[in-house]
Amino acid sequence: MNVLVIHGPNLNLLGQREPGVYGSVTLSAIDAMLRDEADQLGYALRTFQSNSEGELVTAVQDAAGWAHAIIINPAAYTHTSVAIRDAIAAVGIPTVEVHLSNVHAREPFRHASHIAPVARGQIAGFGADSYRLALQAVRGILEEGAGG
């Protein structure tokens, strides 16, 4: 099974950006942890980060034909991007939305997600472990789809 992990804007600054909100773990450490977990599950994993909305849309579109599932942290685009939402809906790949912080306990503008209505679920507030939990959710989705 193939899983694509997409990281949105400013996540390349993890470890130095607002550690009180986002923690001290770097994006490369999150990707390494996910690769290790995916290897244990027998999954192929690709990761992608961009600060550009269009590049994120293209990454979702390019996942068609390869990925069996997508894990996406759209970051600030969660609250603004109809384009990313539409790309996820268009490809029809099961998607799990991830956030490091609990967006529902933060500023009111962060409570609304354009992605949630087209995602299988949303995991937020567990720091880097949010990604690990998302991979476990993907495992459940893929096993369900395989009849297991």
Of 22, 43, 77, 131, the catalytic one is: 22
Query: Is 99 in the active site?
Result: yes
How many degrees, rounded to 5, is the angle at CA 139 between CA 23 and CA 142?
140
Query: Is 22 in the active site?
Result: yes
Whether 116 and 122 have beta carbons less than 8 Å apart is answered as: yes
Whether 95 and 59 have beta carbons less than 8 Å apart is answered as: no
Q: Residue 46's Cα: distance from chain center in Å?
A: 12
Of 7, 68, 99, 114, the catalytic one is: 99
Distance CA 4, CA 67 (A): 6
Q: Tell me the CA distances in angstroms from 23 to 7, 11, 101, 131, one per residue in order.
A: 16, 11, 9, 13
Q: Mind telling me the catalytic residues?
A: 22, 99
